Chain A
Amino acid sequence: MPSTPHGGKLVQVNQKDLAESSGRNLSLTVSAESAVTIQNIAQGILSPIEGFMGRNDYQRVLDEMRLENDIPWTIPILLHAPEGLTAGNGDEVDLVNDSGSTVGVLAFEESYKIDRKEFAKKVFKTEDESHPGVANAYSQSPWVVGGKILWASKPQETEFTPVTLTPKETRFLFKEKAWKNVVAFQTRNAPHIGHEYVQKTALAFADGIFINPVLGKKKPGDFTDEAIVVAYKTLMKGYYPAGTAVMSILNYEMQYAGPREAILHAIMRKNFGCSHIAIGRDHAGVGKFYEPYEAQEIFEEFPDLGISPLFFREFFYCTKCLGIANEKICPHAESDRLTFSGTKLRTMFQSGEAPPKEFMRPEVADAIMGLPQPFVE
């Protein structure tokens, strides 16, 4: 049986075709980021969340990392709105995108003002605007609207639709495969050998691995979504025993909230039916804002998370061990170790040089190099 959905029930919101705004309701233009959140709420990825948070949930999540009903939750789910947006309790609000299409309808509950500095300090542990999450928070309206999503638009077809499964589908799939222990692997990169070792170490004890790359907004120099998907398909075809790995992408905007985001990542994968999640060094971190293993330590605070973390140290290639190792099993010096640096890989690709096989499978490197644009410009 797949893991129980977070909070006990997989949320399912009715999904309809994209429509013009009804014109009857109050209307609120939402960002592309919020449109993705609406989809994720509708499909149950964020269960038990059924809409955008009201004040009580918001404050308890900030202060205690729990919803008002005591369920673990670490990052508020907010819908920013212009000041002065008011409606009666239960009034329907059309949520429209930039093109004027309705992406969802919300039952208005309340609007309230948040303290963005408090939000930044508690969620990101810093008020430093060089942190991308903090900068994003400060750029948003401090006014937010809370309410349940009554319906959402159906997801639009993209080239990634064939590799996008909903929690309902993955839960069914794991059940059909009779997978009980399923390890989730969150990634936003094309796989190098270090990633593969984490996955295979996890797979050694589990029934299956769920590779769940995050696609979404990226910065210049990052692998494109296409490169990530193509690279994983190639790796799975050549290097994983048949029937042991499933890949499906997740549309989600990374917030780089380090430890708090690691818990949210775990909750989302629990909703997909996973029993475990791999958490590596500096999971969901950015720059030097978090301690290397802070995103692992935070799990101690959640005995009731309902998904178990698997903690990994950083893997590297040791020229003396002649293989992949980590600091727990390799006695050799730093100078004997080749670390899997994303920046180094990128530099190699950009200069047309294939990375060494100790860094990346040659087939994976070829697949990436065969793409017209493997990096975001």
Chain B
Amino acid sequence: MTSKYTTVSIPIALHERLERLVQKKGSFKSVSDYATYVLREVVVMHESDQVPEAFTSEDVEAIRSRLKALGYL
């Protein structure tokens, strides 16, 4: 099974700019390929901003004491 695709609307002028870029660079197969690459790059940055570290107070005590006992802290 391969991934499924959908269509995203972008301004025609932007599509044309991207098309020129893709042809010039040669490292992407198509505008879709390029747009997928860039969107993945951007989306991971925003997703990373949203994730808090999940340490409960019990975790903190247990982890701190083990790390101390082993000489890491």
How near does chain B come to A182, taking the closest CB pair, in angstroms?
Answer: 14
Task: Name which of A126-134, A161-169, A283-291 contacts chain B.
Answer: A161-169
Interchain CA distance A163-B37 in the complex, whole Å: 39
Determine if A169 and B67 form an interchain contact, defined as CB atoms under 8 angstroms apart. Answer: yes
Interchain CA distance A66-B47 in the complex, whole Å: 17
Chain B residue numbers with a CB within 8 Å of A171 are: 53
Determine if B38 and A70 form an interchain contact, defined as CB atoms under 8 angstroms apart. Answer: no
Determine if A176 and B73 form an interchain contact, defined as CB atoms under 8 angstroms apart. Answer: yes
- Is there a chain A Cβ closer than 8 Å to B7's Cβ? no
Determine if B2 and A173 form an interchain contact, defined as CB atoms under 8 angstroms apart. Answer: no
Determine if A165 and B72 form an interchain contact, defined as CB atoms under 8 angstroms apart. Answer: yes
Interchain CA distance A303-B39 in the complex, whole Å: 9
Determine if A306 and B48 form an interchain contact, defined as CB atoms under 8 angstroms apart. Answer: yes
Q: Which of B1, B38, B43 has the most C-beta atoms of chain A within 10 angstroms of its own C-beta?
A: B1
- Is there a chain A Cβ closer than 8 Å to B44's Cβ? yes
How near does chain B come to A73, taking the closest CB pair, in angstroms?
Answer: 13
Query: Within the complex, which residue of A8, A10, A173 is in contact with B47, where a contact is CB–CB below 8 Å?
Result: A8
Q: Mark A291-308, 1 if CB is under 8 A from B, else 0.
A: 000000000000111100
- Is there a chain B Cβ closer than 8 Å to A59's Cβ? yes
By secondary structure, the B interface counts as helix
Determine if A303 and B40 form an interchain contact, defined as CB atoms under 8 angstroms apart. Answer: yes
Determine if B66 and A169 form an interchain contact, defined as CB atoms under 8 angstroms apart. Answer: yes
Interchain CA distance A10-B51 in the complex, whole Å: 10
How near does chain A come to B33, taking the closest CB pair, in angstroms?
Answer: 11
In the complex, which range does the number of interface residues on chain B fall in? Answer: 20 to 34
**Number of A-B residue pairs with CB-CB distance less than 8 Å in the complex they form:** 65
How near does chain A come to B28, taking the closest CB pair, in angstroms?
Answer: 11
Chain B residue numbers with a CB within 8 Å of A55 are: 1
Residue of A nearest to B44 (CB): A304
Chain A residue numbers with a CB within 8 Å of B2 are: 59-60, 63-64
**Known A8-B51, A168-B63; contact A173-B72, beta-carbon cutoff 8 A:** yes
Q: Mark B29-45, 1 if CB is under 8 A from A, else 0.
A: 00000000110110110
Determine if B1 and A304 form an interchain contact, defined as CB atoms under 8 angstroms apart. Answer: no
- Is there a chain A Cβ closer than 8 Å to B60's Cβ? yes
Determine if B60 and A172 form an interchain contact, defined as CB atoms under 8 angstroms apart. Answer: yes
Query: Within the complex, which residue of A66, A70, A246, A304 is in contact with B41, where a contact is CB–CB below 8 Å?
Result: A304
Query: Within the complex, which residue of A2, A63, A162 is in contact with B70, where a contact is CB–CB below 8 Å?
Result: A162
Chain B residue numbers with a CB within 8 Å of A306 are: 44, 48
Interchain CA distance A367-B70 in the complex, whole Å: 21
B residues at A contact (CB < 8 Å): 1-3, 37-38, 40-41, 43-44, 47-48, 50-51, 53-55, 59-60, 63-64, 66-67, 70, 72-73
> Can you list 8 residue pairs at the A/B interface with Cβ under 8 Å?
A4-B47, A8-B51, A9-B51, A173-B72, A173-B73, A176-B64, A304-B44, A306-B44
A residues at B contact (CB < 8 Å): 1-5, 8-10, 55-56, 59-60, 63-64, 66, 70, 162-163, 165, 168-169, 171-173, 175-176, 246, 303-306
